[in-house]
Amino acid sequence: MERGGKIMNAGLRPAWPALVFLLVALVMLGADALNGSAVHDIDDIARRLQIADLLQDGNWHDPDWPFLSMPEPYASPWSRLVDLPYVLITWALEPVLGPQAAFAAARFVVPLLWLIAYAGLAAQLIRHILGDQPGLPAMAAAAVASLFAVIEFMPDRVDHHNVQIVLLLAACLGIVSRHRHAGILLGLASVLSIAVGLECVPYIALALSGVAVNAAFAPQSGMPRKLLLCGLTLLAATLPTGLLLSGPTLFQTHCDALSAPWALALMAGGLVAAGAPPVWSLFSLTHPVPRLGILVFGGGLALAALWLAFPECHAGPYGMINETARTFWISNVIQEKGPAGAFARGEHLLVAIFLTLLAMTLAAWMNPPARRAPVLILLLMATLGTLLSAWQMRNFKFPAALLPLFLPLFLARARAGNGVRLGLSVLVPPALLLAGFAVLVKPESRTLSLVDYMEGDACRDADLTSLSDLPPSRIMAPMGLSLTLARHISETGSGHSVAALPFHRAAPGMKRMFETFVLTDASQRRDALAPFDLLAVCTLPDTGNAPDQAPLFAALSSGRDWPGLQEIPQDPESRFRLFRIDHDTVE
């Protein structure tokens, strides 16, 4: 009977734990949707517009957004790999549902398909970390602990973070799996992850480095073969993947997307990974020191060459953000700050997320079995995520997916004894950190400024029908309203464009927008407005802010006029105001 039970459990091994994880995740998503807290941020909206543009023109390798003109064209760094399933499902359903309904159905279905992949990978990784089949309660607990990653799979969340989470877990499976071809999975997941976005570059770099070091120390294990296959995959897959997804821009230099610097980095890493094991074998190197020396020499040479070849990338992927955009935009984005900054601003949810990550990190390190070499690499990657979140809270999604994988092992150890001591060891440090924030971090009594209103008021209730009666024009508007205008332009195909949206590559448009609405120099304002035809704002109730914070915005949003701006009549009940710009007289 026991033998039969083991056989049955082996047959169900991947299915039941993954199904439990999936069902718990679906319940959490449903509860989140029912209570109205589901998050759809600017990235989701803009990605939706990008996919809609692809569906309309079918130009796979055209990254330009037609609804955004700074006045230079805006070339999106976002990968077509994320767009592809939405396009395919929309095409498949369009004959039955029509284009709009088919696209809406695709936006509902695709995140859930990625969630299925996420659940399957999470179950496999937990089994490798635990060294045994996980119990169903432990899987349910791991799913609950993954809440802050699971919410990235909410239907209609079309941003790329859910894809990145799946690819990151696929890379992790390539690390811990004993399958003879696991190195191919690691290499392919690494290439695709960087093609989707650069947020996971630190984790991929640590993963590849960890496998290389493990291969150097364990010549008789399967790691040297895994390193070799991973390197060959990086060499073989980078160019075809880049050309398929990016086209000719692969050979250009873009520090914030898969292009020449990152393609060469992947291939250089592949050359080192694929070349080291044959060299070790050729010279019969079994001691870890010379084996590591070859890796360090090859890796150092590759890094030095890349550093010298691409000096424009030394400032990082955000190097193109000008000082005006940095001052008025990104310096105020709360997710660009750490948990202390979030605490000062009263962002209690972000603080709670970080404290939860810290507790899970401590719990993961308290399990000696988690320090087996391949699993240790995963643990280091998860810990790196917590450290990156301590620097900038926008990084929390990835440790939120990795750390819960260690929870079943921690629960098993707690059940075996000393559960109270382990629990206190996990909970006391976050509590002390919270107390430290309360004592040392001074709360910011920050009130909304006029710049905040410019970014936050999307004026979604505006009647924009008058735009359809005007020829295609470039419109200067605050960023919040620009988002609403961009959606309207995409849906109506009116041919208009806006000056700026809150993305780093749109910094030139943001500079013009802030010079128009916020700064006081009339000559700067005229220069900023020179390429634009129309100006739009939404009226606001009295905010109590001093008008000198943003003179032009203060005047127009309060219903007053401005020299050189000729108002186009709108519905008297509408908050929307639209002006023609007289470039000769505007002040």
* Structural domains of the chain, ranges and CATH numbers in brackets: 321-446 (no CATH), 450-581 (3.40.50)
Q: What is the pLDDT of residues 221-240, one digit of tens each?
A: 999 999 999 999 999 999 99
Percentage of the chain exceeding pLDDT 70: 97
- Other beta carbons within 10 angstroms of residue 308's beta carbon come to 8
Mean of the pLDDT values across residues 552-575?
94
Mean of the pLDDT values across residues 537-564?
93
What amino acid is encoded at 67 in this protein?
A: F
For 145, residues 6+ apart whose C-beta sits below 8 A from its C-beta are 360, 403, 404, 407
Closest by Cα among 5, 191, 6, 130 to 413: 130
Closest by Cα among 53, 50, 41 to 157: 41
> Looking at residue 38, what is its pLDDT?
56
Please report which helix (H) or strand (E) contains residue 136, including its range.
helix 136-145
Q: What is the SS3 assignment for 345-383?
A: CCCHHHHHHHHHHHHHHHHHHCCHHHHCHHHHHHHHHHH
Q: What is the pLDDT of residues 103-117, one digit of tens each?
A: 999 999 999 999 999
For 127, residues 6+ apart whose C-beta sits below 8 A from its C-beta are 13, 17, 133, 134
Q: Which two tokens stand for residue 91?
A: 């095409």
Closest by Cα among 78, 72, 73 to 46: 78
> Looking at residue 39, what is its pLDDT?
60
Percentage of the chain exceeding pLDDT 90: 84
Strand partners, 69: 73
Is the confidence at residue 209, as pLDDT, over 50? Answer: yes
Is the confidence at residue 441, as pLDDT, over 50? Answer: yes
Q: What is the pLDDT of residues 400-416, one digit of tens each?
A: 999 999 999 999 988 88
Closest by Cα among 510, 493, 513, 465 to 67: 493
Closest by Cα among 41, 62, 65 to 490: 65
Q: What is the pLDDT of residues 465-508, one digit of tens each?
A: 889 899 999 999 999 999 999 999 999 999 999 999 999 999 99
Model pTM? 0.95
Q: What is the pLDDT of residues 275-320, one digit of tens each?
A: 999 999 999 999 999 999 999 999 999 999 999 999 999 999 888 8
Q: Estimate the crossing angle of helix 260-282 against helix 182-196, to 10 degrees.
A: 160
- Other beta carbons within 10 angstroms of residue 155's beta carbon come to 18
What amino acid is encoded at 359 in this protein?
A: A
Q: Which two tokens stand for residue 545?
A: 């802010």
Could you tell me the sign of the dihedral formed by the alpha carbons of 89, 95, 101, 103, in that order?
A: positive
Could you tell me the sign of the dihedral formed by the alpha carbons of 548, 553, 555, 559, in that order?
A: negative
Which of the four pLDDT bands, split at 50, 70 and 90, describes residue 457? Answer: confident
Which of the four pLDDT bands, split at 50, 70 and 90, describes residue 78? Answer: very high
> Looking at residue 5, what is its pLDDT?
36
Q: What is the pLDDT of residues 312-371, one digit of tens each?
A: 999 998 888 999 999 999 988 888 999 999 999 999 999 999 999 999 999 999 988 777
Q: What is the pLDDT of residues 94-104, one digit of tens each?
A: 999 999 999 99
Q: Which residue has the tokens 């941003």?
A: 159
**Peptide bond between residue 134 and the one before it cis (omega within 30 degrees of 0):** no
For 12, residues 6+ apart whose C-beta sits below 8 A from its C-beta are none
Q: Which two tokens stand for residue 326?
A: 């940095």
What amino acid is encoded at 199 in this protein?
A: E
What is the C-alpha R_g of the chain? 26
SS3 call for 64? strand
> Looking at residue 11, what is its pLDDT?
40
Q: Which two tokens stand for residue 48?
A: 């939706």
Task: Tell me, rounded to whole angstroms, the distance of Cα 198 from its chain centroid.
Answer: 8
Mean of the pLDDT values across residues 125-141?
93
Is the confidence at residue 172, as pLDDT, over 60? Answer: yes
Is the confidence at residue 126, as pLDDT, over 60? Answer: yes
Please report which helix (H) or strand (E) contains residue 463, including its range.
none
Q: What is the pLDDT of residues 2-34, one digit of tens each?
A: 333 343 344 445 688 999 999 999 999 999 888
Mind giving me the DSSP string for 204-263?
HHHHHHHHHHHHHH-TTSSHHHHHHHHHHHHHHHHHHHHHHHHGGGGGS--TTSSSHHHH
> Looking at residue 571, what is its pLDDT?
87
Closest by Cα among 134, 155, 52 to 412: 134
Q: What is the pLDDT of residues 27-55, one digit of tens each?
A: 999 998 887 655 668 899 999 999 999 99
459-497: string of b/e by CB count within 10 Å (b at 16+)?
beebebeebeebeebbbbbbbbbbbbbbbbbbeeebebb
Report the alpha-carbon distance of residue 492 to residue 251 in Å, rounded. 35
Inter-CA distances, 318 with 73, 282, 314, 322, 579, Å: 18, 44, 10, 9, 33
Q: What is the pLDDT of residues 381-404, one digit of tens each?
A: 999 999 999 999 999 999 999 999
Mean of the pLDDT values across residues 442-466?
87
Please report which helix (H) or strand (E) contains residue 183, including its range.
helix 182-196
